[in-house]
Amino acid sequence: MYLTRDEEDILGGSKGESAQKAMELIVALGKVYGADGLVDITSAHLSGASYKTIGDGGLKYLEDVSKDAKVAVKATLNPLGMDRDRWREMKISDHFAQKQLRIIEFYGKMGVRTTCSCTPYLIDNIPSFGDHVAWAESSALSFVNSYIGARTNREGGPGALAAAIIGKTANYGLHSDENRRPTMVIDADIGSTLFDHSLLGQAVGRIIGGGIPYYRNIRPDIESLKSMSAAMAAAGSVAMFHVEGITPEASLHDIKDLERVHIGKKELEDARLSLNTADDVQLIAFGCPHLTVREITEMAAFLKDKKKRREDVDIWFCTSSDARNKCPDQVRILERFGPVLADTCMVVAPIEANYQRTGTNSAKAGNYLPTLCSQKVICSDFSKLMEMVL
Ligand code: F3S
């Protein structure tokens, strides 16, 4: 693997111990995956922000790295294990909150933007077409590969942080044209709702694993694209997809010899059933990935004249601070039903301490709530979930 003189120097320790270790990690990854060299990145997005997911080991690691490391490019951070201001409403313990606040402090010390959303591409980290970036957070990296045409592999937390510190990543996988070709054509015959698209991602992720689907016959909006990205990455390990007529690289590829798969109502229903394991809920949580202003506005319009009847069910709306601040009137309506929580989510928060059965309209959350939060799940669309408590 070719390294420039500067890169060799960093590997030798010229920019301090943390940069040296970061370079060692990126070079090791490059060697494993057959990279020919390193490539400059314009941004990074880091996972590993919740105390629940990184624990004391991760906290100590961040404390050590942040002593002498600074990020060299724009770097944003994934959701936290709690809302920074409203964690008591989430029944988070003092112990958890103190540790979580220290994690934010260490990332901030390194120059990472602590906006803490899984939709940074709608806020303060918006790559351009063709940019090489190093993003963790499977839903976000799939979105920027597919909708924007930026280039990133499916980075892990430590790899993305190392890339942010040296401003480079190893040049392999989805950084190269030949690995961005579709591997299967999906002829979709589905409805137009957000939940239909989330289930489409679930069905396709289960079939295609780590392949690259090429969708025909759908016209997803931003919200549906983010839900599909999340579901495909959770049900399979999809890091990129094409949608005919929408994603920028779709028209570059010849698809005539690819395998074709039809996904219709039956496949969507099978996908939905595969995620449903509960018959009642204690918590209903929306916003995986984080709710956009448009979703908040639509939810508020639906709930405007309604009343919550069941006090034994909590409701969370998870979004970014940015989106929450942009629509205060709509947020006020949602707050009659439950807290609009910023910069956290139902999966990376320690909900298992207080709940065993959770409702979600996200196929991604439907995959992870059982495994990461020990929940039984009802996965259904927004209006059906709300009807359980109205
Ligand atoms: Fe985002 Fe949490 Fe879902 S990080 S994609 S809301 S699991």
Look up residue 388 and give its DSSP letter: T
Average pLDDT on 139-147 reads 98
* Mutation choice for ligand 1 from 118, 292, 295, 340, CB with most ligand atoms inside 8 A: 118
* Confidence category of residue 376, pLDDT binned at 50, 70, 90: very high
Residues contacting ligand 1 via CB (< 6 Å): 78-79, 118, 139, 230, 287-290, 318, 345, 347-348, 364-365, 368
Q: How far is the CA of 197 from the centre of ligand 1 (A)?
A: 16
Residue whose Cα lies nearest atom 7 of ligand 1: it is 347
Q: Which residues contact 337 (CB under 8 A, 6 or more apart)?
A: 303, 308, 315, 317, 386, 389
Q: Report the pLDDT value the prediction gives residue 122, as an integer from 0 to 100.
A: 98
Residue whose Cα lies nearest atom 3 of ligand 1: it is 288
Structural domains of the chain, ranges and CATH numbers in brackets? 5-177 (3.30.499.10), 181-273 (no CATH), 276-387 (3.30.499.10)
Ligand 1, residue 118: give the atom nearest the CA.
Answer: 1
Average pLDDT on 23-49 reads 97
* Confidence category of residue 146, pLDDT binned at 50, 70, 90: very high
- CA dist 201 → 62, 94, 122, 207, 247 (Å): 34, 37, 20, 10, 16
Q: Report the pLDDT value the prediction gives residue 334, as an integer from 0 to 100.
A: 98
Per residue in 174-222, pLDDT tens?
999 999 999 999 999 999 999 999 999 999 999 999 999 999 999 999 9
Q: Give the whole-angstrom CA distance, residue 94 versus residue 99.
A: 9
Per residue in 75-100, pLDDT tens?
999 999 999 999 999 999 999 999 99
Residue whose Cα lies nearest atom 1 of ligand 1: it is 289
CB-neighbour burial class of residue 371 (10 A; exposed 0-12, middle 13-18, buried 19+):
exposed
Per residue in 238-251, pLDDT tens?
999 999 999 999 99
Q: Report the pLDDT value the prediction gives residue 144, as an integer from 0 to 100.
A: 98
The dihedral through the CA atoms of 261, 262, 266, 267 has a sign that is positive
Ligand 1, residue 139: give the atom nearest the CA.
Answer: 5
Per residue in 164-184, pLDDT tens?
999 999 999 999 999 999 999
Q: Which residues contact 199 (CB under 8 A, 6 or more apart)?
A: 190, 231, 268, 271, 272, 363
| Percent of the chain with pLDDT strictly greater than 70 | 100
* Mutation choice for ligand 1 from 139, 227, 228, 229, CB with most ligand atoms inside 8 A: 139
Ligand 1, residue 140: give the atom nearest the CA.
Answer: 5
Ligand 1, residue 78: give the atom nearest the CA.
Answer: 4
* Confidence category of residue 360, pLDDT binned at 50, 70, 90: very high
- The structure tokens listed for 247 are 């994603």
Ligand 1, residue 290: give the atom nearest the CA.
Answer: 6
Q: Report the pLDDT value the prediction gives residue 215, as an integer from 0 to 100.
A: 98
Q: Report the pLDDT value the prediction gives residue 258, as an integer from 0 to 100.
A: 98
* Confidence category of residue 115, pLDDT binned at 50, 70, 90: very high
Average pLDDT on 323-333 reads 98
Model-level pTM? 0.97
| Percent of the chain with pLDDT strictly greater than 90 | 100
Answer whether 218's CB lies under 8 Å from 243's CB. yes
Backbone φ, ψ for residue 72 (5° rounding): -95, -10
3-state secondary structure of 143: helix
Residue whose Cα lies nearest atom 6 of ligand 1: it is 288
3-state secondary structure of 40: strand
